[in-house]
Amino acid sequence: MNSRIGFIGGGNMAASLIGGLVEAGNSADNLLVAEPDAARRQQLQTAFGVHTTDDNSGVLQQDFVVLAVKPQILRAVCEALRPTAQQAACTFVSIAAGVRSASIDRWLGGNRAIVRCMPNTPALLRCGATGMFANTAVGAAAREQADAMLGSVGITVWVDDEQLLDAITAVSGSGPAYYFLMMEAMSEVAVQLGLDADSARRLVTQTALGAARMMADSELDAATLRANVTSKGGTTEQAIATFEQAGLRDIVRQAMTAAQQRSVELAQQLDQ
């Protein structure tokens, strides 16, 4: 995409998107970042060659405006932009976790085109997973370009019901931490079994990476892949049986349901 894109907020997630866009062939001349911290503006200019400003309202002249500020301050940022936003023709793309598109639209004065996204932290490595929802004011071309924008840092999954972004939060938004917890536990046990910490870390990390790559590159589902590496009477079967007896599936269900419910609660709090 060669649209003019503005960013309000120049933090890590904004930087990852900027890096992905530039790497995908988008001109840095088409990217403008509004960031209050002068040192951070200089960092972004040096790293990517983008234009920067300390004026949020100036960014609204772009085709797309990425709202990349913390959820807790998004309302104040949007309300300050309201007079300018009502005269702008841009599409707003929010990556602020938990803030509903209807809330953003209301804060901006109404009738704005808004794409709401739920990215995750691996986007920083161009390996992200982003859930996306567009309100009815977003046209087909803008939706396609928003998809290309977030697609520059990983995969995208669109939903027609915005409430499903709470489920995506529970799956991929919070998901990296689940795997980190599993890797943390495996590393600890590996050391208890006699391995040194460095070897444990390397083995656990590569095993997780390999398993993810096998599933990503296969047409088989996770259950089939698991069965294929579980020999009858072997070590893997014993470990899997122990997980099942301990109720791992129910623990995962409870944890992800709790994350989904918390996402709903946070949206309600931020809307007040």
Q: Give pLDDT, residue 3.
A: 87
pTM over 0.85: yes
Distance CA 164, CA 171 (A): 11
Distance CA 211, CA 214 (A): 5
pLDDT digits (tens, 9 = 90+) for 134-153: 999 999 999 999 999 999 99
> Half-sphere exposure of 33 toward its Cβ, with a 13 Å CA cutoff?
31
Confidence at 203, pLDDT banded by 50, 70, 90: very high
pLDDT digits (tens, 9 = 90+) for 152-182: 999 999 999 999 999 999 999 999 999 999 9
pLDDT digits (tens, 9 = 90+) for 100-147: 999 999 999 999 999 999 999 999 899 999 999 999 999 999 999 999
pLDDT digits (tens, 9 = 90+) for 88-98: 999 999 999 88
Instruction: Show me where the domains of the chain are located.
Output: 5-165, 175-266
Distance CA 272, CA 75 (A): 10
pLDDT digits (tens, 9 = 90+) for 34-83: 999 999 999 999 999 999 999 999 999 999 999 999 999 999 999 999 99
Distance CA 42, CA 38 (A): 6
Say if residue 197's pLDDT is above 90: yes
- Residue with more model confidence, 19 or 272: 19
Q: Does domain 5-165 have CATH number 3.90.1150.10?
A: no
39, amino acid identity: A
pLDDT, mean of residues 7-21: 94
Distance CA 152, CA 234 (A): 42
DSSP 173: I
In sequence order, the 6+-apart residues with CB closer than 8 A to the CB of 117 are 93, 94, 95, 130, 131, 132, 133, 146, 150
Distance CA 77, CA 67 (A): 9
Distance CA 29, CA 22 (A): 10
Q: List, edge to edge, every strand of the sheet that includes 128-134.
A: 51-53, 31-34, 5-8, 64-67, 91-94, 113-118, 128-134, 154-158
Say if residue 2's pLDDT is above 90: no
Q: Give pLDDT, residue 1.
A: 61
Q: Give pLDDT, residue 24.
A: 87
pLDDT, mean of residues 14-34: 93
Say if residue 8's pLDDT is above 80: yes
Which CATH superfamily hosts domain 175-266?
ProC C-terminal domain-like (1.10.3730.10)
Confidence at 271, pLDDT banded by 50, 70, 90: confident
pLDDT, mean of residues 218-232: 97
Please state, for a pLDDT cut of 70, what percent of the chain lies above it: 100
- Whats the size of the chain, residue-wise? 272
Distance CA 129, CA 91 (A): 21
